[in-house]
A and B are shown apart, each in its own frame.
Chain A
Amino acid sequence: MTSTTTVSGGFIPVCRLDQLEVERGATALVHGQAVAVFRTYDDQVFALGNYDPFSKSSVIARGIVGTRGETPFVASPVYKQAFDLRTGACLDDEGVSIPSYEVKVEDGVVLVGPRLKHPKRG
C-alpha cells in the first residue's frame, strides 16, 4: 500500500525501528530527497543527507557507524571521511558538513522531520 504521507509538524514516517540494523544505516526517501537513517548501539536514531560531497554520490547510509571519543559518526563508504551523526559536520574537514534532520521514534515508528540548524562551529 502506498500513499503520500505527511504528518503534522512536517515529520514523515519512514520505517519501523526494528527494520533498522544496529550500527548500520538505511536510505529513506523524504520529500523526494535521499536521507540516511542510522540506529546506534544505544538505540538512538539519527538522520543525515545521503549525498556525500566528497565522492559526489548518494551513499552515506552505507558507511560504517562507530564512535570517535564520545562522538557517534558514520564514515563515508567511498573515501572514508567521518561525519558527526548528530550534526552532519565532517570530522576530517572542518569546512564541510552535510544536512542533518530531526528524528523521533513514536510507537516503534521512525519519523524524519525538518532539517536541523546548527550554529557555526568554532
Chain B
Amino acid sequence: MSTRKTLVVAGHGMVGHRFVQAAIERGLTERYDVIVYGEEPREAYDRVALTSYYEVGADALSFLPGGQYEDPRAKVVLNTQVTAIDRDAKTVALSDGTTQAYDVLVLATGAAPFVPPVPGKDLQNVFVYRTIEDLQAIEEAAKTAKAGVVIGGGLLGLEAANALHQLEVETHVVELAPRLMAVQVDDAGGATLKRHIERLGLTVHTGVMTEYIEGYTDAELVDEDAEGNTDGKVSGLKFKDNDEVLPVDIVIFSAGIRPRDQLARDCGLEVAERGGILVSPNMQTSDESIYAIGECAAPGGRMYGLVAPGYSMAEVAADHLLGGAGEFLGADMSTKLKLMGVDVASFGDAFATTEGSLELVYSDAVAGIYKKLVISEDCTQLLGGILVGDASSYGILRPMVSSGMALPENPEDLILPASRGTAQIGMPDEAQVCSCMNVTKGEICKAIHDEELTDVPAIKQCTKAGTVCGSCTNILKNLLTEEMEKAGKAVSKAICEHFDHSRQELFDLIKIGKLASFDAVVAAHGTGRGCDICKPAIASILASQFNGHVLDKKTVGSLQDTNDAYLANLQKNGTYSVVPRIPGGEITPEKLIVIGEVARDFGLYTKITGGQRIDMFGARVEQLPDIWKRLVEAGFESGHAYGKSLRTVKSCVGSEWCRYGVQESVAMAIELELRYRGLRSPHKLKGGVSGCARECAEARGKDFGVIATEKGWNLYVGGNGGAIPAHAQLLASDVDSATLMKYLDRFLMYYIRTADRLQRTSTWMDSLDGGIVRVKEIVVDDALGLGAELEAEMAQHIDSYFDEWKATLEDPEKLARFVSFINAPGTPDPNISFTEDRGQIRPVNFDEPVSLGSSIPVGAPQ
C-alpha cells in the first residue's frame, strides 16, 4: 500500500503556480502527489504583464513553457475546472465529468472581473480584461473598431485602456469616482495622471455614471448565430445626466474584481461578509483539509487583489503543510507601476488618515510630476506617500515607512528633483527591500557577505529578491556597492591583477589600439606576464577580432587554456576527448562509420553528446594529430568543443520528415552552425532550431533558439541549461530567414563585444539595464546605430573562417606540441592507464606519479 497522499490544487493561475513551485522546492512532493487543475487552455502565465501580450505573445508570458513541472510528482491538467467539492467523501468533481479524490485540497480559483448590471452588458463586443483569451477577443474586435471605452479608471482599467490604445482604437476611460486610480492616489495625483494620459491621445471622463450600453439594431450589423439569437454589436455608451451617446464599438469592463468563492459556498465553507473564503492565518478554511490562497481567499475577512500577498499566502500554505509555523498577517498594499510610460506609486498611509499627520507636497504641472509625503505629527516618521510622474525614490521611501526609521532633517529633500539624499540614506536591516518576495535589507546584506556575491544577478539568484516585479533592482545595486565598500572591496571591474579593466574595456582597447598580441596588450595596458584568467580572456578577444589560428605562436599560442592549447578537451587522467563537427546533428552513414572506425582503431570510449554529436574519449596528446588526420581526410572539421565558442546548433527533424513540422529546421540549423562555427565568444554558445511549436530541439534552452512558425521563425535569446537554467526570451517573431540571420549577427556580436569574461548570454542580458527590452532596442530597432557595424564584423568572421585542425596538421611547428615527452616522443606517458567498464575504456588515476624506470632510452637533443 502506498503511503503517498494526494494534494489537489484548484486553479493554475499565478498563485496556484507559485504554490506548486513551493511544494516542489520545499519537498512537499516527497509526500504528496500534486495535481493542479487549470480551467484556461494554457498553463499559468504572468497576468500582471497581461498587456504586453500584444507585444511579446503568449509564450513569453508563460510561467511554465513546457506545460509540466520538472518534478513528475506534480501534474498539470488544463482545460479542466473543479466544479464541486464533496467534503465528506474528500473528492472533487471535474468539468470533464470525472471525480478526483484528495487528502488535501488547495483552492486557488482567483477572482472574476465584476460586471455591473448595466443594460446592454450582454451585447457583442463587450469584454472583460483578465485572460489571454479576453485579449485575443479584444484584438479581433479592434480590427474593425473605430472607438472603444473602458469602464473603470483603476489600475487595471488603465492597463486595458493602454491595450486598446496600442491596438490603434480611439480610447475613452470612464470612471465613476472623481479621479483616476482612486484607491491609490489623491485628487491632485489623479489630475496629474489624467493630464499624462490625455496627452497620449486618450479621453478621460471622471465622475460620470454609465446608464446603458446601446447596440445596433440595423439588420446588417446583427450577427445571427445558429439558434437565431440576435445579439447586436455595441454602438455606443449612454451616461446618466447626459443626453449624448458616446459612439463606441468596444466596451471593456474593468470595474473591480470579485473573489471566486462559489465552490466554497456550495460545500458550506465559511465565507467573508464581502466575499472570499475565510481562512486562518495559516490559510486553512473552516475545513482543515482545505486551504484557500490568493484572490479567492479572505484572511481576516479581507481579500487582497495583488499578486504579492497571493504569493505570500502560497508560501504560508506550503509551509503549514510541511508542519511549519508560517502565518499570513496582512500585506503591504504599496503599489508601484508604470502606466503608459507614467510612473505611479502609492505606499503606506497615502491618504493621511493617521491623526495629526502632515502632508508635504511637490508638484510640477509642466513636467507632470506630483509627489506627496505623509509624515507624522512630530515630523520624525514617514507614514506614506504618493508619487506620479517620477517614482524613482519609491525604492527608498517605502522601506522607510515599513521600518519606521527616522526621517532626515530636511524631509523635502526626499521628493525634490534630483534629490541627492536618496541613495545615501541608510536603511535599517529590517527594512523590506523586495516586497514581492519579502526580502529584507539584512537578509540581502548577509547573503552578499556570506556567499561573497559580487553582482546583482547573483543576489537575485541567492535571495530571490527582485525576481518578481524587478522594481527593487536599483536598491540591490546600491546595497551591493555599499557592502563591497564596507568590506574594503571596491566593486572592481578588473579581470585580474594584471589589468585594471573589465573584459568589455579590454575588448574596446584592443580594437581601438589594433593590438594583435598579448605582448602588445600587456605592454599598453597591463602589468606582469598575465595569468590563467587574463590570458584566455585576451586570447578570446583576439580570436573574436582577428580570427587567427589559436596556436599561432606570435600572437596567442601561449595564452590558451589547455583545451584550446591542444584543440581537444582535457579529461581527468590527462587524456583528451575529440569531437568533430556534425552540423545540426545530421550525418551520413559513411561518416558515422568513419567515426566508429577511428574510435575503434585508437581504442577510444565513445558517447553521444547533448549537442547531437559524438565524443571520443581517452586520446593521448600524441595521438591527436593522427586521429584528426583520419577525420579531416573523411571530411570532418573541428567541432570547437574545446573552445569558448559556438558549439552546436541542435535541431529536430523538421518539415522534411516530420508530420507536424512547418519549416525545415535541419537545414536552418546547419546553415546557422556553419555561419557561426569557430566564432570565439566570452563563454560557450549553443543554438537550437525547432521545426514547430512542439519545440523538440529544446531551442529555448539555448543561447539562441529558433522556433518555426507558419509565417517564418521566432527568435529567442539568452537561454541555457547548466547549474542555473534559463529559458531564452523572445527577440523577434515571424521573421524570414534573412532577417533572422541579421538579428542573430547583431545579437552575437554585441554580446561578444560587451559581455564579461565567462558570462553567458542569459546573465549578460540580466546585467543590461532593461534586459531583453534593451537587447531588442539594440538588435531589432538598432537604437545605437551599431547594426551595420556588427553585421560587418560578423561577415568578416564568416569570410575568414578556416578549420583549425586542418591548418594544424599542415604546420609542423604547431604539431611539435603534440608529443608525450619532448625527449622521447614515441614513449607513451605511463601515468595514463585505463580499465574497462560496460565494454569500453575508463580512466584510472594514480595516487603517486608513475615511473618508467631509468632504463628507458630517451633521445638526446639534436
* CB-based nearest B residue for A75: B532
* CB-based nearest B residue for A107: B861
User: B817 — which chain A residues lie within 8 A by C-beta?
Assistant: 21, 24
Which residues of chain A in 69-118 are interfacial with respect to chain B, using CB atoms and an 8 Å cutoff?
69, 72-73, 75, 77-78, 80, 82, 109-110
- Judging by beta carbons under 8 Å apart, are A59 and B822 in contact? no
Q: Chain B, 815-847, contact with A by CB distance < 8 Å: what is the 0/1 string?
A: 011011111100101011000000000000111
CA distance A41 to B824 in the complex (A): 25
Which residues of chain B in 551-575 are interfacial with respect to chain A, using CB atoms and an 8 Å cutoff?
553, 557-562, 565-566, 570, 572-574
- Judging by beta carbons under 8 Å apart, are A15 and B823 in contact? yes
B484 to chain A, nearest CB (A): 23
User: B553 — which chain A residues lie within 8 A by C-beta?
Assistant: 21-22
Given contacts A41-B529, A57-B572, contact A26 B855 (CB under 8 A): no
- Judging by beta carbons under 8 Å apart, are B852 and A32 in contact? yes
Query: 10 other contacts beyond A13-B860, A29-B858, A32-B856, with CB at 8 A cut-off?
Result: A2-B857, A12-B858, A14-B861, A15-B822, A16-B862, A23-B529, A29-B823, A40-B529, A57-B572, A78-B572
**Count: A-B pairs, CB below 8 Å:** 159
Given contacts A57-B831, A62-B566, contact A4 B858 (CB under 8 A): yes
- Judging by beta carbons under 8 Å apart, are A64 and B857 in contact? no
- Judging by beta carbons under 8 Å apart, are A56 and B822 in contact? no
CA distance A20 to B553 in the complex (A): 11
CA distance A72 to B562 in the complex (A): 18
CA distance A75 to B530 in the complex (A): 11
Given contacts A3-B860, A5-B860, contact A49 B528 (CB under 8 A): no
User: B845 — which chain A residues lie within 8 A by C-beta?
Assistant: 55-57
Q: Is B228 an interface residue (CB 8 A)?
A: no
Q: Chain B, 520-547, contact with A by CB distance < 8 Å: what is the 0/1 string?
A: 0000000011111011100000000000
User: B528 — which chain A residues lie within 8 A by C-beta?
Assistant: 66-69
CA distance A14 to B819 in the complex (A): 14
CA distance A56 to B849 in the complex (A): 8
Given contacts A33-B849, A57-B573, A57-B574, contact A23 B558 (CB under 8 A): yes
CA distance A29 to B856 in the complex (A): 9
CA distance A31 to B856 in the complex (A): 8
* CB-based nearest B residue for A14: B823
* CB-based nearest A residue for B843: A57
Q: Is A28 an interface residue (CB 8 A)?
A: yes
A65 to chain B, nearest CB (A): 7
Within 8 Å by CB of B851, from A5, A13, A33, A65, lies A33
Given contacts A32-B852, A32-B855, contact A14 B822 (CB under 8 A): yes
CA distance A15 to B861 in the complex (A): 5
B459 to chain A, nearest CB (A): 26
User: A69 — which chain B residues lie within 8 A by C-beta?
Assistant: 497, 528
B819 to chain A, nearest CB (A): 8
Q: Is B117 an interface residue (CB 8 A)?
A: no
* CB-based nearest A residue for B852: A32
- Judging by beta carbons under 8 Å apart, are A16 and B861 in contact? yes
B228 to chain A, nearest CB (A): 79
CA distance A13 to B862 in the complex (A): 10
CA distance A32 to B858 in the complex (A): 9
B54 to chain A, nearest CB (A): 49
Q: Is B268 an interface residue (CB 8 A)?
A: no
User: B851 — which chain A residues lie within 8 A by C-beta?
Assistant: 31-33
Q: Chain A, 41-57, contact with B by CB distance < 8 Å: what is the 0/1 string?
A: 10000000111000111
CA distance A70 to B821 in the complex (A): 29
Q: Is B853 an interface residue (CB 8 A)?
A: yes
Q: Is B737 an interface residue (CB 8 A)?
A: no
Within 8 Å by CB of A26, from B534, B566, B822, B858, lies B822
- Judging by beta carbons under 8 Å apart, are B561 and A68 in contact? no
A1 to chain B, nearest CB (A): 7
User: A22 — which chain B residues lie within 8 A by C-beta?
Assistant: 553, 558
Q: What are 7 of the A-B contact pairs (CB < 8 Å)? A: A2-B858, A3-B860, A23-B558, A62-B562, A67-B531, A73-B531, A109-B861
B599 to chain A, nearest CB (A): 22
Q: Is B300 an interface residue (CB 8 A)?
A: no
Q: Is B229 an interface residue (CB 8 A)?
A: no
Within 8 Å by CB of B849, from A28, A34, A64, lies A34
- Judging by beta carbons under 8 Å apart, are B535 and A66 in contact? yes
CA distance A109 to B860 in the complex (A): 10
User: B860 — which chain A residues lie within 8 A by C-beta?
Assistant: 1-3, 5, 13
User: B846 — which chain A residues lie within 8 A by C-beta?
Assistant: 56
Closest 9 A/B residue pairs (Cβ): A77-B562, A51-B849, A58-B831, A75-B532, A66-B531, A57-B574, A23-B558, A56-B845, A32-B852
CA distance A104 to B534 in the complex (A): 30
CA distance A32 to B536 in the complex (A): 33
User: B827 — which chain A residues lie within 8 A by C-beta?
Assistant: 29
* CB-based nearest A residue for B535: A64
CA distance A99 to B852 in the complex (A): 17
A2 to chain B, nearest CB (A): 4
CA distance A24 to B497 in the complex (A): 20
A26 to chain B, nearest CB (A): 4
- Judging by beta carbons under 8 Å apart, are B574 and A1 in contact? no
